[in-house]
Structure 1
Amino acid sequence: MTHAPRLRAALAGALLAAAALAAPLATPAAAQTGTLAPRAPKLIVALSIDQFSAELYERYRPSFTGGLKRLGEGVSFVNGYQSHAATETCPGHSTILTGRHPAATGIIANSWYDRASGSTLYCVAVKGTADPDARGGQMLRVDTFGDWLKRAQPGARSFAVSGKDRAAIMMGGHHADAIYWWGDNEGFTSSAFAAPATPTVLAPARAFNAALIARWKAAPPALWPTSVSARCAALQKPFQMGAVAMPGTVPPPASLTVETGPNFFARTDFADQLRASPLFDQLVLDFAGQLIDRNRLGRGAATDLLAISLSATDYIGHRYGNGGAEDCVQMAALDAALGGFFARLDALNLPYMVVLTADHGAADAPERAAANGNAQARRVDGAAVVRALNTELRRQFALGYDPVASEGADDITITAGADAALAARMRAAAVVWLKARPEVEAVFTADEIAAVPSPSHIPPTQLSLIQRYAESFDRSRSGDILVAYHPYTTLGVPRAPGDVVAGHGTPWDYDRRVPILFWWPGVTPRAESAAIETVDIAPTLAAIAAVPTPAVDGRCLASVARCPNTGDSGQN
């Protein structure tokens, strides 16, 4: 095995090329001017940027010159919401193209404790197979817009691609023509449990992967640009985050190598650092562009769908927080990469439209947030909370085991074997103990949440705290006790480089509020102040594509589409 030189000294070719595309983009010649999206475009591109809060979008919006600038010049809803409490990747992606809240999709977290098996289930893991890498949408209880489209329009095709398996599968649904995601040891891949994974379907991924590793062997890839803007450079400041001293520089310190053998990576730190870099999104968009070309998407008789989830912002936000130079550079690189992707679409000269949103937002690392004036920002050791609760319950009930079966400090399941009465007493004691914790805002039992009437069609800004939990509650999957910590509380203490320093998953607006942007050639730019939800996207796309909409929690947006049963103007 031979190793490439350190990546910090490598050329920034891929990212510099992408940056060159960040110039203002011309509107395609085939533009269709109008206040509403044209019916039945040949290609609909549904984009999700993982951990892209409305606050982050607004912070950097004035600096965008590429793809994000273009999308902001369409119909722009800055008060979009993932209105539920479980603001994580899998639940958030499950709402975007289903029109349903997680309470209906069944995707109430990235993972949850399964009482039947006594183990933790990953949201896209596959039961009943010995293959640990099997991934699929079996736990998703509803269909997606791509499924509706294929039923209504013979010949319609639906593809999904992401850096994360759970993001691609949640957007791809149950009947996609292909669903791809990045696998650390192989590049883009799929699973027959998610979508067809025949040699024909896998061929473009294998060709892309082979060409990629050949380039990387010849010249190691630059994960980060070698130069940064003055705005980003001003954010290069060191911070102590938990037990980790973060230098705050771009590129971040790294010593990474590319393998010349059959696998992609010689060391796991390469895969780890790749995900948390701007290059990761560029790879996804490059592969998505090749899927368009190879499958001639948008050039058939029906409307095609391409769902893309870009994951790097989430990995970067977790590793470095979203208030430093790292996320600043990521925003510029993402803007440039999207600009290049849209230029590629423009060159096809076909009628297409784009919708962009996010699965959730995030807060910055509490140490930097506090230094910047956020007096609420704090860090709580969630694992220590669970340990202390176990200790207290063992003491009170003279137990010889830890009764808290779940791992998280915000979604707690209590076990007592077959003794239901004992379990009930322990749950009651746990609620009392948790409510007395100084960092806890509210505690809800499963019974309390289950008794809440359906909050559907209540504006997301008017949902009470327990109603937010109800929107992402499933009796068979959610825990016994759900805990809301005070706003800007980060659960977890980083102890080594690479540990999570900032997160999400709370019921507060910094995690719930996301941009929702619609764009098509010739769109009349409009900034909409109305509070809408990600569940509104699928029924709006259905109206645009002229396909029937099943029962959903969302509504068609009349400022974007000709909504059914309301004439040409529709009704919000």
Structure 2
Amino acid sequence: MSRKFLPLCLFGFLMVFANENSFAQKKSDTQDDNELKTTPKLVVGIVVDQMRYDYLARFWNHYGDDGFKRMVNEGFNCKNNHFNYAPTSTGPGHASVYTGATPATHGIIGNDWYDKESGQSVYCASDSTYTSVGTVSDAGKMSPHRMNVTTITDELRLHTQMRGKTIAIAVKDRGAVIPGGHTANAAYWFHGEDEGKWVTSSFYMTTLPKWVSDFNASNKVEQYKKPWRPLKDINTYLESGLDNNTYEGLFVGETMTTFPHDLPNLWDENGKYDLLKATPYGNSLTTDFALEALEEEQLGADEITDFLAISFSSTDYVGHKFGVNSKEVQDVYLRLDEDLARLFKALDKKVGKEEYTVFLTADHGAVEVPSYLRDQKIPAGYFDWAAMVTRFNEFLNYKFGTTDLIRNSSNYQLFLDHKIIQNLDMDVAEVQQTIAKELLTYDNIDRVYTGHQMWQNEYTEGIPNILQNGYNLKRSGDILLVLRPGIITYATTGSTHGSPQVYDTHSPLLFYGKGIKKGSTVERTEIPDIAPTLAALLGISFPNGTTGKPIPQVLE
């Protein structure tokens, strides 16, 4: 080989090597870019109102393959998922799911709470500065203005320069307004009574879109004005208690708690279209409307990620009415399973099976009916609030000479009148402590904490930590009460929620779809972890009040 040819060969080799190395580098860069984010065409957030985690296992053998089982078998199941704050109710639950924070930060401390500035009770989603759209009633006077921070839906809108759509849907107004965040294109909720329509607020728009008006004008709501019968043979509902028992509530006009529930005959005495909310048909109607929104709003139709937030509210109404051990609760979940299958089938067809990401969780759990537990010789019961107030007022008069110290009691909190305390030349912290010590002597009150303790201490575990996460310095009260496990303030029929006890905090958390691993974990996860997990998946900013952390096991 000539000496002239050797340098040419060497030059050629170096050029090939450089090109290959450059290609490899570009490929590596591309891989790194892909690892920065996952880009589903659509994210679907599902919140099931009042869903305990054990409903997954309890009714498992009755579920079909395409609803809950699809999410568990093909997605990721967080088995030890909890709310890390109290009170555990719908407004705070939805806010915590979507903000990645707790009430201490996002400010939604209850469905309703006492506003210390105005001296009035306020509702978490109410806003009199806006008007109803789609109804002449006040049902649409809503907005998310009481929520202090952004949501994951807000951050997605900001990230996409407002090109990605957010649509939020629920039977309950707060189940739509709060998940939609401050920037939603639309939030819709169901107004019952004698109208039976999907409505919204002028916060979002001035008139309903044609497709919503058309849906309201159709007979799709009317088709559910029919008897509620079990989906399957009721004799196979062995996972629930007897159909006829004393632990369940009655619709007005009923004399027995048993199936079927004759909705047409019960209609007028039970709020007309409001009656649908307390049956599985409310969830089916929600699914119908969500599928219409999917089609008409062209969600997931392009490469810019959209968000569809759906809350299934009827499970909560049914649980409150009949209790967690009822055959009605079992039936509402079997029917919800079919609605989920219907939703996933539509998403497969419209968006593409590998092109969307879903999470499913709850806004709180629920307690077993205490009267039922008591009959099983399990410690449980009911707190007599009226009797407590009588004894407590006697104490206030004896100790302070007045009962006017108490401005309000709500959400298991007492609000003191600080002006009266100052006029009496007393120290607020000392008054709080004195009252707390008194209340701790009452039957069925398990723990009492003061606002001063919430201010001065940093609790890292247990019920004090849960209370502190729910304690907002500007909005919460002076005295916090915790009842014994199994003790509630409620009717002797049906279930409720709101406490820091484990039956109210343990809820499902399932992820499924694009960017999600298959598997499960029994490591503790918490509700505020959902939003940052989605943000990490999408490669977008965390909501600006985030206190939760991404769940690494979930993400591919």
- With the shorter chain as reference, the TM-score category is 0.7 to 0.9
Question: Which one is further off, 537-546 or 225-234?
Answer: 225-234
1:465 matches 2:474: no
Whether 1:557 aligns to 2:555 is no
Q: Residue 359 of structure 2: which of 355, 359, 366 is its match?
A: 355
Question: How many Å apart are 1:241 and its aligned residue?
Answer: 4.3
- The answer to whether the 8 A contact 1:224-1:277 is kept is no
Q: Deviations over 1:213-254 (max 9, x none)?
A: 6744xx833444465443327633433349989844223465
Q: What are the within-5 Å matches in structure 2 for residues 11-30 of structure 1?
A: none
Pairwise CA distance, 1:119: 1.2
SS where residue 116 of structure 1 aligns?
coil
Moved more, 112-121 or 233-242: 233-242
Q: Deviations over 1:350-370 (max 9, x none)?
A: 211110001110112111223
**Pair 1:183-2:191 in alignment:** yes
Pairwise CA distance, 1:146: 1.0
5+ residue gaps, structure 2, are 1-34, 133-137
**Which digits, 9 at most, give the CA deviation of each residue in 1:133-152, with x for residues without a partner?**
41111110011111111111
Does 1:39 find its partner at 2:41?
no
Partner of 1:71: 71
Q: CA RMSD in A?
A: 2.8
SS of 1:477 mapped into structure 2: coil
Mapped partners of 2:516, 2:291: distance in 1: 23
Equivalent residue pairs, number: 501
Q: Is the 8 A contact 2:228 2:259 kept in 1?
A: no
1:332-411 mapped onto 2 (5 Å cutoff): 332-350=334-352, 351-373=355-377, 375-399=378-402, 403-408=405-410, 410-411=412-413
Q: Counterpart amino acid of 1:137?
A: P
The correspondence for 1:206, drawn from 213, 226, 242, is: 213
Change (3 A) 1:482 1:522: closer
Alpha-carbon distance change, 328 to 257 in structure 1, aligned in 2, over 3 angstroms: closer
| In structure 2, distance between residues paired with 1:290 and 1:226 | 24
Supply the distance in 2 between the matched residues of 1:326 and 1:246 (Cα, whole angstroms). Answer: 16
Q: CA deviation at 1:548?
A: 2.4
Distance 2:128 2:298 in 1: 35
SS at match of 1:97: helix
Query: Does the 8 Å CA contact 1:389/1:430 hold for their aligned counterparts?
Result: no
1:441 counterpart residue number: 446
Q: Measure the CA separation in 1 of the matches of 2:131 and 2:201.
A: 13
Match of 1:311 in 2: 313
Taking the aligned partners of 2:36 and 2:314, their CA distance within structure 1 comes to: 30
Alpha-carbon deviation of 1:408?
A: 3.2
TM-score, with length taken from structure 1 = 0.81
Q: Look up the match of 1:156.
A: 164
The 3 A distance-change label for structure 1 pair 481 and 130 is farther
CA distance in 2 between partners of 1:329 and 1:246 (Å): 20
Deviation track 1:376-419 (CA, whole Å, cap 9, x = no partner) reads: 221223344334423432454343x6543324371111336544
Instruction: Provide the residue aligned with 1:328 in structure 2.
Output: 330
Which is worse superposed, 364-373 or 401-410?
Answer: 401-410
Distance 1:37 1:222 in 2: 51
Structure-2 separation of matches of 1:41 and 1:428: 53
Aligned to 1:31: none
Q: Distance in 2 between matches of 1:242 and 1:303?
A: 44
Partner of 2:7: none
Contact 2:228/2:262 (8 A) holds in 1 = no
Distance in 1 separating the partners of 2:153 and 2:211: 21
Deviations 1:286-331 (A, max 9, x none): 1011000001100123000001111111111111111111111111
Judge conservation of contact 1:157–1:176 (CA < 8 Å) in 2: yes
1:435-488 CA-to-partner distances (Å, cap 9, x unmatched) read 001201100011111223375xxxxxxx22111111111121111111000011
Counterpart residue number, 1:489: 487
- Shift of residue 182, structure 1, vs aligned partner: 1.2
Of Structure 1 and Structure 2, the greater helix share is in 2
Change (3 A) 1:408 1:197: same
Aligned residue type for 2:448: V
Alignment correspondent of 2:458: 453
Paired amino acid for 2:176 = A
Query: 1:238 and 2:217 equivalent?
Result: no
| In structure 2, distance between residues paired with 1:177 and 1:128 | 19
- Contact 1:382 1:408 (8 Å CA) reproduced: no
Report matched runs for 1:235-314 at 5 Å: 235-241=241-247, 247-252=256-261, 256=265, 268-314=270-316
Q: 1:371 to 1:137 in 2, by over 3 A?
A: same
Provide the C-alpha distance between the structure 2 equivalents of 1:237 and 1:484, rounded to a whole number of angstroms: 32
Q: Distance in 2 between the 1:327 and 1:343 partners?
A: 24
8 Å CA contact 1:223–1:274 kept in 2: the answer is no
Percent identity between the two aligned chains:
28
1:385–1:409 CA contact under 8 A, matched in 2: no
* 8 Å contact kept, 1:390–1:404: no
Q: Secondary structure at the match of 1:517?
A: strand
Paired letter, 1:240: T
Gaps in structure 1 of 5+ consecutive residues = 1-35, 259-265, 456-462, 495-499, 563-572
Structure 1 pair 454–181 and aligned structure 2 pair: CA distance change class (3 A) = farther
1:361 match: secondary structure: coil
Report the alpha carbon displacement of residue 42 of structure 1 after superposing the two structures with TM.
0.3
Q: Is the 8 A contact 1:163 1:311 kept in 2?
A: yes
